[in-house]
Structure 1
Amino acid sequence: MISEIYDVIVVGAGHAGSEAAAAAANLGSKTLLITMNMQTIGQMSCNPAMGGIAKGQIVREIDAMGGYSGIIADKSAIQFKMLNLSKGPAMWSPRTQNDRMLFAEEWRYALENTNNLDFFQDMVKSLIIENHKVVGVITSLGIKIKAKSVVLTNGTFLNGLIHVGDKQLGGGRMGEPKASGITEQLVSLGFESGRMKTGTPPRVDGRSLDYSKMEEQKGDEKPHKFSYSDTPKLTKQLSCHIVYTNETVHDILREGFDRSPMFNGTIQSTGPRYCPSIEDKINRFAERNRHQLFVEPEGWRTVEIYVNGFSSSLPEDIQIKAMKYIPGFQNVKVFRPGYAIEYDYFPPTQLYHTLETKLIQNLYFAGQINGTTGYEEAAGQGLMAGINAHNKVHDKGEFILNRDEAYIGVLIDDLITKGTEEPYRMFTSRAEYRLLLRQDNADIRLTEKAYQLGLADETRLRNVEEKIAKSNQLEDYLKETSLKPGIINPILASIESSPVDQAYRASQILTRPNMTLDKLEEIDFINEKIGDFSQEVKEQAEINIKYRGYIEKERENVAKLNRLETIKIPEGFDYTNINSLSSEAKQKLNKVKPQSIAQAGRISGVSPADINVLLIFLGR
């Protein structure tokens, strides 16, 4: 019996649990992090990468809020890429390839150096509930630990079942035991539970691959980073590689379909739509004769390779046989095959926006237990659950981020209001305010909130205030500076933009397609004036000038959506033949059958663009 009563107990030390524990402890709560294995704190169970489309924005938001994920990602990065630079800034998304072992090591080091945080290695088998309120946990050793609040971040461990072909193993990850007892107790208390699945690809020996037959994918020449703090920038990077499957690979994989748990009925739970297994891809997209694979290194000091895109639960002999026909994989040696895992989750409509459960007071859920998928989504929820658990036991107000304030706000609002029947993944298209919720301005949006909470120090706040002041200063200069035709026309010609016959403000010129601030800096007196501004400040000012009109229009569109409750959709309406709708929107709309345009707009996967298509089709 541990006699101490903790303010917050966090169960599970994955991405959600680690952020929850850090947040609660840094806010001053006496916190206990319980994990089944102290060696796997912050483990990257699937791909060794952080960020990506919309996920990179979440990591930057976590960092702006005083969380650790961005710092850990920077310290363990082996490659950095800013994705979608050919599109508008709302789509720019940072991503790091990471050293898997170093990532976990840095997480443990950061947590062990966090005040108010204790650790205990054991499995939590049940909660102590009194008068519909959680007051502690009981471990598999029978140890009772009292707490004022509990955050469950069990990941894939709740009754986890691993599938490799026709073999099944109980476990939360390969080689690690499942957690049992909690689901059964929660269901007995009235909670609704369900089953979901996810999968992971084979890991192979990089020494057995022929990279000359693959396309090299290097990191950015001038790599950025996630954290707004003083984490180091990458000075050297490891390359990833791209390769493609082929018809021979597909034919071999089909040989194992009768032994596949996905196709023989063994697995009946729902997997992630946007990260399908290789057998699912060749079954659903039978018309495609190849699929892209990313050959990703697992770290600086290991030969292990992650075959991204080849997630599979087929028998191991089929996986290995098929891989040998991938270019460069003829002599492949497999460290371990891919597998699928089924696990329990609890539909998140059973939560408040604070992530506290509606049935049991002071009990919070974060991460895959809520039906999400992805390290970043889990970490964002963990951060918010940790903050709110601390606030609740210290009689402080709830902390909620709105949809117009953060992707984290969009994520939680989607989960709470819409639920999810498949593992939820964040995309830029899910956010109405995505031009406001960019990766470059997460610090401007959130640092002051973090400072008021107590998660960001004064230095961070001053840095943000300085960034805003200098950005405004730069904008004012560009709005006031006049450029004569003789000065600007040569630059306009270089980007194939029509010449001007009179002087224009620099800010007006900057709004032209293909014109950038870098181009304007080719003018000596502009370069002399703004050359010393940081790249962050320049990026901020340029985006604000170029996209101000679009941002205002976006706000109007969201206001319009709120007036759409009265526009009814005819009963039995068939969305299949509306070509302009995304395929996901057609599927979701036909399934949910919304009664109004506003209701359609709240369905996960139906974007504002889809709503505009419906409005036009309905004559509105």
Structure 2
Amino acid sequence: MFPEYDIIVVGAGHAGCEAAAAAAKMGSKVLLATMNMNTIAQMSCNPAMGGVAKGQIVREIDALGGMSGIITDKTMIQFRMLNKSKGPAMWSPRAQSDRMRFAEEWRLTLEQTENVDFWQDMVTGIEVADGRAAGIRTSLGITIPGKAVILTNGTFLNGIIHIGEKQLGGGRAAEKSAKGITEQLVQLGFEAGRMKTGTPPRVDGRSLDYSKMEEQFGDENPSKFSYTDTQPLPKQRSCYITYTNSEVHEILKTGFEKSPMFQGRIQGLGPRYCPSIEDKINRFADRDRHQIFVEPEGWSTVEVYVNGFSSSLPEDVQLKALRKIEGFENAKMFRPGYAIEYDFFPPTQLNLTLETKLVQNLYFAGQINGTTGYEEAACQGLMAAINAHNKINGKEPFVLKRSEAYIGVLIDDLVNKGTDEPYRMFTSRAEHRILLRQDNADIRLTKIGYELGLAEESRLKAVDKKIAETAEIIAYLNNKAIEPEDINSMMEELGSAPITEKQRAGQLIKRPNVEIEHIAQAVTSVGEYLSKFKQESVEQAGIQVKYESYIEKEYSMAARMGELENYNIKGKINYRDIPALSKEAKEKLLKVEPETIGQASRISGVSPADISVLMVYLGK
């Protein structure tokens, strides 16, 4: 009935969609297996993409040739660049999305992608032959052969939904959980664990009083995620902010005795950085209010997402408490919030390619690896697909370094350190974040994406033009002399000391509070010169000039760290035979089996002293 596919992707969430699109674009014949064709690319939680560090990941996906940025640009209803008051390493794009349009656009994109087939069925097991993944088995008793399999099961593996004292089997509201895969993988020797996540209630926007809330507008001149020619938003929808209060908290406390979290019915660990409302009022008992973001779910729908009110308390308690929030006095609930508990597999069981160590040609991506977030899932799907395609075609593995991309940081953290709570990306996790800015993801990664067969030649030409324009502008700024009478009124306005003699424009831009646009605004000749270039080239030049010394220092540090990455650990080593290693280091090194000294140095529990011992042992 079925031909042998090159790659079978199990699950059509954000990881699965990116995996299927990327593998097909690279030339693999792909089957995307999902339990429900109508929920492809479903935004299970908040209708948004990007945010702090997450926005950088979406831009990296786009720069490599992935689709998340393009889909987001086509379906967003609001755009904001977060952290603009801070340095550019912290600038993070975020979009409010139209939930239904986002899923529709992903499905239509996949349907129009050559080499992608679909099959709606529950996958109950993996075909394994001679230690390799060789296909899948489904609930209909069908076996579908494949050269590689990518599991992107999200929260569906033995998923249990909790609402108060009620427990429902399911991977998402109104959708059944997936059975069979966990049990088979455990039999094969994999270690499994349990995690939990949650979602807030959805309410009828017609029942809210927005006049009592603080309106949150999108950016005046909205940007976008993709480096392609997607169009910025001509109009936007506002979000709103309101707050809980002590009365809300007291009502929520009345449901604690029925809380699955407080009564021990939930065993899995939840995300530390996105706690439920009951967890917040329990952990932060001294705070009398918590912020609530009121987010529309699309252009036309009246459904509203109550961000910050994630809960698994009984539905009547949720509604009663909601109605004590300012603006929610007459709120009508579409559905209550809930917690969901699901199986995951500690990612220390993976190679840096996301291929499992126990079964060749079997890859894990997304929440099955213990991560949380659409963006974290999508980039893993992309990387798993690239490596699965390369593996079955006899090509080299593809691994991004920590100094090359947030994607590299994420996968390196997962594989080397593991996680016992849902992993979320933050800028603070990256030691080279001044290099990993959202504005230069194309400069960092598009050439790589082109060489992989993902990014089109037109993308590469656009990046080459941006690089050339940036260099030209930098040379101009470093040579352009500015007269005191042309700039001092602007300097005074910006709170910067006036100049007494001519200075180069580049030197002025290095001052705090002085940006390239200020020079362009004050000096007509500079403004006229810069108007010839694309805005992103001008912005790039301004950043590179202002932070030149910091960027150079980061490149130097990354190069020194890179020397450790070049020390390969060849073959299998029995670390128990190295007596000077600590007991913990022996255990961790045997478990992770690092490929380089650099990777070994980042394993939790391996000390600098252990690395010194290892380098002596290896003759380095």
TM-score, length-scaled by structure 2: 0.90
Pairing 1:507-586 to 2, within 5 Å after superposition: 507-522=506-521, 523-556=523-556
Distance 2:447 2:560 in 1: 29
Alpha-carbon distance between aligned partners in 2 of 1:466 and 1:474, rounded to the nearest angstrom: 12
Letter in 2 for 1:320: L
- Whole-Å Cα distance in 1 between the matches of residues 528 and 225 of structure 2? 29
Q: Name the residue aligned to 1:232.
A: 231
| Residue 197 of structure 2 is aligned to residue 198 of structure 1 | yes
Deviation at 1:486, TM superposition (A): 1.7
SS of match in other structure, 1:75: helix
CA separation of 1:183 and 1:441: change in aligned 2, threshold 3 A: same
Segment drifting more, 513-522 vs 11-20 = 513-522
Amino acid at match of 1:252: I
Contact 1:521 1:531 in 2 (8 A): no
Q: 2:217 — aligned with what?
A: 218
Looking at structure 1, the residues matched to 115 and 29 of structure 2 have their Cα atoms a distance apart, in angstroms, of 5
In 2: Cα distance, 1:193 partner to 1:132 partner: 19
Q: For each residue in 1:377-409, what CA deviation from the matched residue of structure 2 results, as whole angstroms up to 9, or x when unmatched?
A: 000000000111111111111111110111000
Once the 2 structures are TM-superposed, how far is the Cα of residue 483 of structure 1 from its aligned partner? Answer: 1.0
Match of 1:407 in 2: 406
Is 1:385 aligned to residue 384 of structure 2?
A: yes
SS at match of 1:252: helix
**Contact 1:21–1:32, Cα closer than 8 Å, also in 2:** yes
Could you say which residue in structure 2 is the equivalent of 1:67?
66
What is the CA-CA distance between 1:558 and the residue it aligns to?
5.5
Which whole-Å CA distance do the structure 2 matches of 1:31 and 1:273 have between them? Answer: 36
Cα distance between partner residues in 1 of 2:195 and 2:601 = 25
- Cα distance in 2, alignment partners of residues 401 and 209 from structure 1: 46
Letter of the 1:518 partner, please give it: E
On the 8 A contact 2:54/2:425 being kept in 1, the answer is yes
**Aligned-partner Cα distance in 2 for 1:359–1:25:** 26
CA deviation after TM superposition for structure 1 residue 101, in Å: 0.2
Moved more, 514-523 or 292-301: 514-523
Deviations 1:128-151 (A, max 9, x none): 111111101100000000000000
Report how many residues are paired.
Answer: 571
Match of 1:446 in 2: 445
CA shift, 1:289, in A, is 0.6
- Mapped to 2, the partners of 1:445 and 1:238 lie a distance apart of 33
> Equivalents in 2 of 1:252, 1:601: separation in Å?
49
SS at match of 1:521: helix
Change (3 A) 1:295 1:26: same
The residue that corresponds to 2:425 in the other structure is: 426
Write out per-residue CA displacement over residues 8-27 of structure 1, whole angstroms, 9 at most, x where no aligned residue: 00000000000000010000
Q: Which residue of 2 aligns with 1:251?
A: 250
Tell me if 1:273 matches 2:288: no
Q: Is the 8 A contact 2:159 2:342 kept in 1?
A: yes
Q: Contact 1:90–1:438 (CA<8 Å) still a contact in 2?
A: yes
CA separation in 1, counterparts of 2:560 and 2:274? Answer: 33
- Please give the secondary structure, in 2, of the residue aligned with 1:119: strand
Deviation track 1:26-62 (CA, whole Å, cap 9, x = no partner) reads 0000100000000000100000000000000000000
Alpha-carbon separation, structure 2, partners of 1:147 and 1:13: 17
Please name the residue that 1:487 is paired with.
486
Change in Cα spacing, 1:288 to 1:600, as seen in structure 2 (3 Å) is farther
Written as runs of structure 1 = structure 2, the 5 A alignment for 1:289-438 is 289-438=288-437
Task: Call closer, same or farther: CA 1:603–1:232 in 2, change over 3 Å.
Answer: same
Q: Please, what is the CA RMSD of the aligned residues? A: 1.6
- Residues 1:557 and 1:186: Cα distance change in structure 2 (over 3 Å): same
| Aligned mates of 1:467, 1:436 — CA distance in 2 | 17
Amino acid at match of 1:92: W
SS of 1:220's equivalent in the other structure is: coil
SS in 2 for 1:127: strand
- Map of 1:587 onto structure 2: none
Q: What does residue 131 of structure 1 align with?
A: 130
> Cα offset for 1:117?
0.6
The SS at the match of 2:547 is: helix
In the alignment, what sits opposite 1:567?
none
Partner letter of residue 195 of structure 2? Answer: M
Shift of 1:3: 3.3
Partner residue in 2 for 1:575:
none
Which one-letter code corresponds to 2:297 in the other structure? E
For residue 2 of structure 2, give the secondary structure of its aligned residue in structure 1: strand
Contact 2:243 2:325 in 1 (8 A): yes
The one-letter amino acid of 1:19's match is E
- Letter of the structure 2 residue corresponding to residue 529 of structure 1: Y
* Deviation sequence 1:222-265 (CA, Å, 0-9, x none): 00000011112100100000000000000100111110000001
Unaligned runs of 5+ in 1: 565-570, 572-597, 605-620
SS in 2 for 1:79: strand
Secondary structure of 1:148's counterpart equals strand
Query: 8 Å contact 2:416–2:603 — kept in the other structure?
Result: no
Q: Which residue of 1 aligns with 2:594?
A: none
**Amino acid of the structure 2 residue aligned with 1:292:** Q
Q: Where does the alignment leave 5 or more consecutive residues of structure 2 unmatched?
A: 565-581, 583-597, 605-620
Task: Within 5 Å, give how 1:574-613 maps onto structure 2.
Answer: 602=602
1:33 aligns with 2:32: yes
Give distance in 2, aligned partners of 1:147 and 1:558.
39
* In structure 1, C-alpha distance between the alignment counterparts of 2:562 and 2:219, rounded to whole Å: 41
Partner AA of 2:457 in structure 1: E
Shift of 1:484: 1.9
Find the counterpart in structure 2 of residue 595 from structure 1: none
**Gap change, CA 1:424 and 1:321, over 3 Å in 2:** same
The one-letter code of the counterpart of 2:536 is E
Kindly tell me: are residues 385 and 479 of structure 1, through their superposed partners in 2, closer, same or farther at Cα, counting changes over 3 Å? same
Residue 542 of structure 2 aligns with an amino acid whose one-letter code is: E
Which moves more between the two structures, 370-379 or 129-138? 129-138
Higher deviation after alignment, 531-540 or 269-278: 531-540
Deviation at 1:553, TM superposition (A): 2.9
Could you tell me which residue of structure 1 aligns to residue 147 of structure 2? 148
**2-structure distance, mates of 1:368, 1:47:** 16
Q: Which residue of 2 aligns with 1:474?
A: 473
Name the counterpart of 1:584: none
Q: How many angstroms does 1:554 deviate by?
A: 3.1
2: CA distance, partners of 1:56 / 1:601: 28
Contact persistence 2:416–2:599 (CA under 8 A):
no
**Aligned match of 1:618:** none
> Aligned-pair distance for 1:557?
5.2
Q: Does the 8 Å contact 1:164/1:340 carry over to 2?
A: yes
> Shift of residue 560 of structure 1?
7.6
SS of 1:129 mapped into structure 2: strand
Distance 2:421 2:560 in 1: 29
Give distance in 1, aligned partners of 2:476 and 2:541.
10
The answer for the alignment partner of 1:462 in structure 2 is: 461
Aligned residue type for 1:548 = E
**Helix, strand or coil at the partner of 1:101:** helix
What's 1:614 paired with?
none
Q: Which residue of 1 aligns with 2:102?
A: 103
The residue type paired with residue 479 of structure 1 is N
The alignment partner of 1:473 has SS state of helix
AA aligned to 1:416 is V
Q: CA deviation at 1:480?
A: 0.6
Task: Give 1:552 deviation, angstroms.
Answer: 2.5
Q: How far is the alpha carbon of 1:489 from its aligned partner? A: 1.4
The question of whether the paired residues in 2 share the 8 Å contact of 1:218 and 1:238 is answered with yes
**Counterpart for residue 260 of structure 1:** 259
For residues 563 and 226 of structure 1, do their structure 2 counterparts lie closer, same or farther at Cα, with a shift above 3 Å needed?
A: closer
Amino acid at match of 2:181: I
Seq. identity, % = 67
Q: Are the equivalent residues in 2 in contact too, given 1:561–1:601 (CA < 8 A)?
A: no
The equivalent of 2:497 in structure 1 is: 498
Give secondary structure in 1 for the equivalent of 2:3: strand
Contact 2:79 / 2:218 at 8 angstroms: preserved in 1?
A: yes
| Aligned residue identity for 2:148 | S
The structure-2 alpha-carbon separation of the partners of 1:520 and 1:367, relative to structure 1 and needing over 3 Å to count, comes to: same
Q: CA deviation at 1:548?
A: 1.2
**Cα 1:29–1:125, aligned 2, differ >3 Å: closer, same or farther?**
same
Specify the alignment match of 1:117 in structure 2. Answer: 116
